[in-house]
């Protein structure tokens, strides 16, 4: 592993949306509840089921934490 792998300060990146495992999603939501976080959604079509379901769950958590300001914490990258 490179030196950045062991860096403890700065933003952390967690990957989600690659499966529909409810245990994983439950643990992820519990982990994020007391964290400051944002979403970066990457999907070529926007219609793949795994990232779409995960996005909806995490967006709901963002909206519960930040209300209308949640929209400022979402970045979407997709094909035009």
pLDDT in tens, 4-39: 677 778 888 888 888 889 999 999 999 999 999 999
* 3-state class (DSSP) for residue 62: helix
pTM score, two decimals? 0.81
Domain ranges, residue 51: 14-77
β-partners of residue 74 are 39
In a domain, residue 4? The reply is no
Does the pLDDT value for residue 1 go beyond 70? no
Pull the structure tokens for residue 60.
């709901």
Q: Looking at per-residue confidence, does 13 or 71 come out higher?
A: 71
In a domain, residue 1? The reply is no
In a domain, residue 7? The reply is no
The tally of domains found in the chain comes to: 1
CA–CA separation, 40 vs 55, rounded Å?
A: 9
β-partners of residue 76 are 41
In a domain, residue 8? The reply is no
CB count, 10 Å around CB of 52? 14
């Amino acid at each position: 592993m490179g030196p950045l792998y062991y860096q403890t300060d700065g933003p952390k990146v967690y990957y989600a949306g690659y499966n529909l495992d409810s245990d994983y999603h439950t643990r992820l939501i519990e982990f994020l509840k007391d964290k400051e976080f944002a979403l970066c959604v990457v999907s070529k079509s926007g219609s793949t089921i795994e990232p779409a379901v995960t996005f909806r769950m995490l967006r709901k958590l963002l909206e519960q934490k930040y209300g209308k300001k949640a929209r400022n914490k979402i970045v979407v990258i997709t094909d035009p």
